Amino acid sequence: MPDEPSAVIAAGDFNGDGIADLVEAALPEGEDSGPRSLTVWLGNANGGFVPASSRVPIGQDPRALVVGDFNGDGKPDVIVGDGDGALLEFFGDGKGNLIPAGKIATLGSVVSIAVGHFTHGGGLDLVVSDVESNTASIFLNAGDGSFQQTWSFQLPQRGAEFHIATADFDRDGVADLVITSEDNGNYEVMLGNGNGTFTYSPKLSHLRDPNSYCPT
């Protein structure tokens, strides 16, 4: 039998009580096929979790999930990426419920999503890796939770699944990217330019063959 897809989980305080909660994209309990659901598990003071009342249906193959305040209302929101390429957004109401806010975009096949401030203003932005097109796409946030795809670049190897994380490696106040896969020990760092584009940094990257990759 094929392995059951792993649940996709992230943390956030979805009801504002100061205790960490979880959001999970998985099959509804008792089902072994069909669309997944997005469920918030509310944390309590003794370390346990109870499911919130609402469960939101999503796609068949959720691959990545991120939490952040994307619309600037002080409450955590959720963005889910599916294997069919759909990038879906859900706004939190501060009570543990998630409200569908629409589809941000449709890509080839989402593998990884990371968030950060890619410009000197506005809200949290997104970078999404897409195995089908072998690209990473940048989505800039208008500040209200609406996104526009503004730039993309090629990933190191077609057919491999690449994961992306963000951090401010050069301490300039703009998020940078690190790109890696499970297939080798390589990682590539791209420094943010402050306008939603990035520049490859050979000095901060680790490649077995330094001539094998130069993103543009």
What proportion of the chain, given as a percentage, has pLDDT over 70?
A: 92
pTM, two decimal places:
0.92
Q: What are phi and psi of 51, to 5 degrees?
A: -70, 140
The confidence score (pLDDT) of residue 210 equals 55
**In terms of C-beta density within 10 A (0-12 exposed, 13-18 middle, 19 or more buried), how is residue 139 classed?**
buried
Distances (CA, A) of 115 to 64, 79, 88, 127, 129: 12, 10, 14, 6, 12
The stretches in the chain having pLDDT less than 70 are 1-6, 30, 208-216
The confidence score (pLDDT) of residue 53 equals 83
- 21-40 per-position pLDDT tens digit: 999 998 877 677 778 999 99
Q: What is the pLDDT, as a whole number, of residue 214?
A: 55
Rounded CA-CA distance 197/42 in Å is 37
Q: Which DSSP helix (H) or strand (E) runs through 50?
A: strand 49-57
C-beta neighbour count of 156 within 10 angstroms = 20
pLDDT at 1: 31
The answer to whether residues 114 and 164 touch, using CB atoms and an 8 Å cutoff, is: yes
Question: Is the sign of the CA dihedral 92, 109, 152, 163 positive or negative?
Answer: positive
The pLDDT value recorded for residue 2 is 38
